[in-house]
Amino acid sequence: QYRDHDLTFNSGSHRNPASVEYTLTVPRTARLDEIKLINGSLDVTGVSGEVRASCINGRLEAHNVSGRARLSTINGRLDARFDQLAGSFVELNSVNGSVDLTIPSDAKAEIEASTVSGGIDNDFGLHVNNHRFVGHDLRGELAGGGTRIELRNVNGRIEVHHAQDGRALSPAKDLSHRDRDDDDDDSEI
């Protein structure tokens, strides 16, 4: 209990133990049009409506989501797990942090992924172009295509996993453009 409901923190003090945590509960189908956070972590769970969220200097986790999503981080990890891909578009972007995407094993999707510095791994057997001087990229289609997934990272890894849901793995079709600057042996340089 603070007298007069006022609380003051001295910004010059190194012993400022202040922190704030918000928990917002919304209907599952709510559209989360714009969530922005600086210097903290963000968790989004159980939403089937559209989600647009960004985090600077903190991790962003979106679990049990199924709608359109545009998620980004700067200086933080991005972890997104989709129960289903009902939305028509998923975009995950990061600068200085890993991107980890988990989708249903039987997903119907078109996937594009690229990094400037950092590798790309996927559970679906899609070919990763490891360019000779800089960057990696992947283009592929799962089960004939469907939801468009774009993954971008400047400095960090991208990993695409299938959920441990007991379903058969979607057939994958490689759509990568291979050119003479590719290191086709998939080894790190």
The domain spans of the chain are 33-164
Tell me the pLDDT tens digit for each residue of 55-74.
999 999 999 999 999 999 99
Q: Phi/psi zone of residue 45: left (φ > 0), alpha (ψ -120 to 50 degrees), beta? A: beta
Considering all CA atoms of the chain, what is the largest pairwise distance in Å, rounded to the nearest integer? 71
Q: What is the pLDDT of residue 20?
A: 78
Contact 128, 166 (CB under 8 A): no
At 102, the pLDDT band (50, 70, 90 cuts) reads very high
Beta bridge partners of 90: 69, 149
- Rounded to the nearest 10°, the torsion over CA 145, 128, 78, 149 is -20
CA dist 64 and 147 (Å) reads: 16
pLDDT-based confidence at 186, cuts 50/70/90?
Answer: very low
For 19-66, the pLDDT digits (tens) are 778 888 999 999 999 999 999 999 999 999 999 999 999 999 999 999
pTM over 0.75: yes
Q: For residue 15, give every residue at least 6 positions away whose Cβ sits within 8 Å of its Cβ, in sequence order, or none.
A: none
Residue type, 24: L
- Predicted pLDDT at 51: 96
Strand 42-45: give its sheet, edge to edge. 42-45, 60-65, 78-82, 99-103, 158-162, 120-122
CA distance 172 to 169: 9
